[in-house]
Amino acid sequence: MSTARRRGILAAVTGIVLLALGLGVGVVVGDALGIRTEPSTQMTPADPVVPAVSGPVLPPEFTAIDAPDSARISAALDELADASADATGTSGEASLTVTAGDGDASDDSYTLSGNPTALHIEAASENGAARGVYDIANSVRIGSPVEALIGDHPASKLPFRMVDLGAVGVDPDPSQWVDGTDYSHVSRAFEDVYLADPPYIDQDALATAYDDWDEFLRHSVANGYNAVSWPGFIEFATFEDVPGVYPEGDPHVARALALREAFGPFWDRAAELGVKIFLRTDMPTLTPQLADYFDREFGGLDTENPELWKTYTTALDELYAAEPALSGILIRIGEGGHVYQEPGWDYYSEIAVRSVDAVRTMLETYSAQAEAEGREVVFRTWSVGIGDVGDMHTDQSAYHAILDGIDSPALIVSTKYTLGDFYSWLPLNDTLETGDQRRIVEFQSRREFEAFGSFPNDLGPQYQWALQTLLEKNPNIEGIWTWTQDGGPWRAGPMSLYLKSGFWQLYELNTQTAAALARDPNADVGQVTVDWAKEWFSEDPETVTAIANAMALSRDAITQGLYIQPFAEQRTFALGLEPPPQMWIFEWDILTGDSASLGVIYEISKDRIDETIAAGHDAVAKAEQMRDDVAATDASTWRDPAMRDAFLGTLDYEADVLRLLAAYREMFLEQMRWHDTLDPAAHAAWEQARDEYVALADEHISTYSGDVNHPAWNLAAADLSVQRADRDDAMAWIARIMLALALAWLIIGMIAARTRLVRRPGAAAARVTWLASTRPWRAQEGTLGLLTLDRWLLLVVPGALLVGTRAVQTSFLSWTHLAVVLGAWIVFLVVVDLLLGRKRSPWPVIAAVGGVVVLRCIATLVALSFSGPGGYWFAFWTDPVRRTIYIGVAFALFLWVFVAAGWALSTQLGRRRATGVVLAAAGAGLAIPATVVAIIGLETVLSAWNDQMGLLPWGLARILGLTTYLEIPADTAWWAAAFGAVVFVIGLLLALKWGRRKTSTTIGAGSRHPEPAEV
């Protein structure tokens, strides 16, 4: 067998192996993407019912009140006095007697006896007596006859009812909201109270904050709540019983003592009113000094070591002793990092509890400490897909693996009622149906993913169905945790601050509903809505009915307008995570434009596209109907006409946003339909929808920019998507033209030697690139005698094709992508040239590499030629077969570049040195760009690249960051650089001469210019 034949067979076998390897990579990529769906079991709440609304009944004037003299009863009587003062009048007189026994403090049952003129509350405990007074005050506020309460009132079904901190200590400064792009999750509560230096506390600001707190506390107790989660822990800890954490004189100790002295009275006031305080913190929570201590003692954050957690519990022991009003600690492990860090403070958290053993060790340590101290520890199962415990929140088997056997009476496990975050269309969280631990259920009043509570959103029927279903299956559920304000970014949405600013009364309904259902899961939620409308807006039956009718429509407007039903009613899995059912809005007010989300949404919905488009317009009609219902009311019947204006303003805002979203959904669904079918009608429909969206977007931005109560939505990602989509058709045509030119170059190269074309300028270069890319061992002979023009064409044609292909692939929008890719190839070629030296020609290897680059670009241009980059990525995300084939071919050609380079070099250097040159060049091509990326910051570069390419949701980088969500270690770029450097060194050693060796070569073959150029 001839040498040429052996080489040909070897090349063919190598090609087949590389293709098989590439196809294997394609399969692995598909498996890593893990894009799949399964049906989602929907909650099935009853349809909302608006009860008949009666006119108001004037309350009696309470002329004589006999009640225990305690802070708790006094606060309740203050509420009654305020309600009476707010009433439009009184009718008759009445006395009120309150009797409280010394029974179980948690028993809030009571009996109201007597008649309309002489009422008597009898309760086994002060808790029940206070509840009775609050119920009377509520009847006064809503114009209900007080005597209707006469009878027995059993204890609340769920004794534990917690709220967040509301907006206590948060400054409603419009300048902090007007920009609308601050996605920090930090409330900045008490920002005016804190001082950077001793004495650390501004006493005047503290006094104002205390009044703020007292108002919130009284209001929450009146609503039926008896616990508050207070942000912070490490800020109050001195670690004085853990030697070595803080050196003597460390300001953290003095600041902690100052904070305790400042906020201790806040907690004491809560205890007076029967309210528990739980310090809410992420774990592990750190300061630089504590992190250094852990490095010294445990070699870092060894979260499976109980001694690490004892550092915290020891600090808690000392804190509990100093502040007896504290009831326990509330722990989250699933989120953390810079997005929660208070500006100007060095207290921070890390997501480091990622294993089953780490969670169990942490909980066992904290629970033992809580039992010993007579306190409680609340553990949130929220874990957002991080580490081995990432599905603890949504998977029963994971829940059991982590928590089975941890049955401390001091442990309470807290879980969101939805199987995921606070979205609609999610199933009920079935992890709440299981487990032996004490459980509480989390609800969110100001729904962060549904316009931050700025749209009417009556969740009563859903809350009721969820609680009734869960209580039937799990007797260990003993409470709720209602988020009145918190959750998500504080300053990216409207400046609605609970009890302070904006239209907070709108989401107060959900706070009141959750409390009512915690007391009685069978409560009439329709009546709760009516009572809410009476309390805050009007006593007039027609006006209240109109408001209640509007609220009954509110869920349809939300679930159809903010969600795409065919997608939302499926559980979708990707990248090891379970994306939420609202991926086209990711997240909050960010209208996404990434190809992954929009492509997958279309693929799931494509059999129902027309129905889905119509649903968006139906949602607009619902919002307009709600607006018409409220607008038809008489302004004079409202408690305050300004509240009517606020209601109409929010409904105008909702209708505008839903119009915008309806146009956007139609636009991107038609765009994807075009990519899928290449139907000109779909392209025309996309153009029409695009024009409508652009006009509505301009109008929306013009109307609502700078409006802190109705902020303009963030359309940055959507606008980038429109910009990319606008270029798809042009990019497809450019790709077709480039593909035609590349194929012409390739064909000329194939046939030039057998035709007169070989004498044409450039034909010889085309022939050499084809020859060198398919038979790289002939690259050296092919470059002999080339004209100067042909030599440069060996470099310029593949280089220009590479630049053009990458530019088209990115729609000429991602210079980050071009810089990294081209930078790596330039480094590769420079290193090859340097290692070849002045005595050897670089043109053989340039011809081989350039020829394969042409083939690689042809493969990409074929994929781009159908409908541009949008179609390229649509197929990547939605068509596993096309994706696998493309990756197989592209990866095989990528590896063939290095094989061809080494083979071409081997005729000049021998196999060992040629291998070394290729390895050194490849290593440098990896190490140098990776080092630049590492210096800039991997997260920064990935975010910029993703913003420009639009592959994954733009919002990912604004939440926890791409690296965190995808679990990419922050030092990955440095490791890549180190790996590249090692490969470079190995290659360099192989490329060097190891000794003198005589060779027989053709005269001039080893020179930089082997033959004189033909003239």
Indicate the pLDDT class of residue 480, thresholds 50, 70 and 90. Answer: very high
Query: Tens digit of pLDDT for each residue in 768-795?
Result: 999 999 999 988 888 887 888 888 999 9
| Residue 599: alpha-carbon gap to chain centroid | 19
Query: Tens digit of pLDDT for each residue in 654-685?
Result: 999 999 999 999 999 999 999 999 999 999 99
Report how far residue 118's alpha carbon sits from residue 65's, in angstroms, rounded to the nearest whole number. 10
Query: Tens digit of pLDDT for each residue in 232-282?
Result: 999 999 999 999 999 999 999 999 999 999 999 999 999 999 999 999 999
Across the strands, what pairs with 570?
Answer: 39
Closest C-alpha among 413, 415, 322, 313 to residue 371: 313
Q: Which residues contact 998 (CB under 8 A, 6 or more apart)?
A: none
What SS3 state is found at 524?
A: coil
Residue 755 is predicted with a pLDDT of 67
Closest C-alpha among 546, 394, 522 to residue 461: 522
Report how far residue 181's alpha carbon sits from residue 183's, in angstroms, rounded to the nearest whole number. 6
Report how far residue 598's alpha carbon sits from residue 583's, in angstroms, rounded to the nearest whole number. 8
Report how far residue 486's alpha carbon sits from residue 452's, in angstroms, rounded to the nearest whole number. 10
Neighbouring C-beta atoms of residue 569, cutoff 10 Å: 17
Q: Which tokens is 178 given? A: 């007007």
The region of weakest confidence among 39-53, 666-680, 825-839, 961-975 is: 961-975
Mean pLDDT of 389-414: 94
Tell the burial category of 667 from Cβ atoms under 10 Å away from its Cβ (0-12, 13-18, 19+): buried
Give the β-pairing of 160-163 and 477-483.
parallel
Q: How far apart are the first and last CA of the chain?
A: 39
In the chain, % of residues over pLDDT 70: 96
Q: Would you state the torsion angle of the CA atoms of residues 171, 177, 183, 187, taken in this order, to the nearest 10 degrees?
A: 10
Report how far residue 360's alpha carbon sits from residue 735's, in angstroms, rounded to the nearest whole number. 56
pLDDT at 337 over 90: no
Q: Which residues contact 41 (CB under 8 A, 6 or more apart)?
A: 427, 428
CATH (residue range 160-165+203-487):
3.20.20.80
Higher confidence at residue 1001 or residue 634? 634
pLDDT at 1001 over 70: no
Mean pLDDT of 323-351: 86
Assess contact for 240 and 318: CB atoms under 8 A: yes
Assess contact for 481 and 176: CB atoms under 8 A: no
Residue 1005 is predicted with a pLDDT of 38
Distances in whole angstroms, Cα of residue 985 to Cα of each of 73, 917, 926:
79, 10, 13
What phi and psi values does residue 186 have, to the nearest 5 degrees? -85, 130
Q: What is the mean pLDDT of the chain?
A: 93
Higher confidence at residue 266 or residue 391? 266
Report how far residue 190's alpha carbon sits from residue 845's, in angstroms, rounded to the nearest whole number. 66
Residue 8 is predicted with a pLDDT of 84
Report how far residue 525's alpha carbon sits from residue 516's, in angstroms, rounded to the nearest whole number. 8
Indicate the pLDDT class of residue 11, thresholds 50, 70 and 90. Answer: confident
Report how far residue 62's alpha carbon sits from residue 90's, in angstroms, rounded to the nearest whole number. 9
Residue boundaries of the structural domains of the chain:
61-153, 160-165+203-487, 557-708, 728-906, 910-993
* Fold agreement between 61-153 and 160-165+203-487: no
Task: Spell out the CATH class of 61-153.
Answer: alpha beta
Residue 696 is predicted with a pLDDT of 98
Q: Is the omega angle on the peptide bond into residue 48 within 30 degrees of 0, that is, cis?
A: no
Mean pLDDT of 920-933: 95
What SS3 state is found at 412?
A: strand
Q: Phi/psi class of residue 576: alpha, beta or left (left: φ > 0; alpha: ψ in -120 to 50)? A: left
Closest C-alpha among 747, 751, 771 to residue 903: 771
Indicate the pLDDT class of residue 578, thresholds 50, 70 and 90. Answer: confident
What phi and psi values does residue 97 have, to the nearest 5 degrees? -115, 135
Query: Tens digit of pLDDT for each residue in 520-547?
Result: 999 999 999 999 999 999 999 999 999 9
Q: Which tokens is 322 given? A: 């100093």
The region of weakest confidence among 398-412, 549-563, 961-975 is: 961-975
Indicate the pLDDT class of residue 338, thresholds 50, 70 and 90. Answer: low
Residue 340 is predicted with a pLDDT of 64
Query: Tens digit of pLDDT for each residue in 830-868?
Result: 999 999 888 888 999 999 999 999 999 999 999 999 999
Stated pTM of the model? 0.91
Query: Tens digit of pLDDT for each residue in 793-832?
Result: 999 999 999 999 999 999 999 889 999 999 999 999 999 9
Report how far residue 392's alpha carbon sits from residue 370's, in angstroms, rounded to the nearest whole number. 23
User: Which ranges in 323-395 belong to alpha helices (H)?
Assistant: 356-373
Report how far residue 53's alpha carbon sits from residue 67's, in angstroms, rounded to the nearest whole number. 33
Closest C-alpha among 123, 132, 145, 129 to residue 60: 145
Query: Tens digit of pLDDT for each residue in 699-749?
Result: 999 999 999 999 999 999 999 999 999 999 999 999 999 999 999 999 998
Residue 1004 is predicted with a pLDDT of 39
In the chain, % of residues over pLDDT 90: 85
Assess contact for 604 and 597: CB atoms under 8 A: no
Residue 753 is predicted with a pLDDT of 64
Axis-axis angle for helices 911-936, 880-909 (nearest 10): 130
pLDDT at 321 over 50: yes
Residue showing tokens 């509990």 = 320
Query: Tens digit of pLDDT for each residue in 201-234?
Result: 999 999 999 999 999 999 999 999 999 999 999 9
What phi and psi values does residue 801 have, to the nearest 5 degrees? -65, -40
pLDDT at 442 over 70: yes
Residue 968 is predicted with a pLDDT of 86
Residue 190 is predicted with a pLDDT of 96
Indicate the pLDDT class of residue 760, thresholds 50, 70 and 90. Answer: confident
Query: Tens digit of pLDDT for each residue in 608-652?
Result: 999 999 999 999 999 999 999 999 999 999 999 999 999 999 999
Indicate the pLDDT class of residue 999, thresholds 50, 70 and 90. Answer: very low
Axis-axis angle for helices 763-774, 788-809 (nearest 10): 70
Tell the burial category of 321 from Cβ atoms under 10 Å away from its Cβ (0-12, 13-18, 19+): exposed
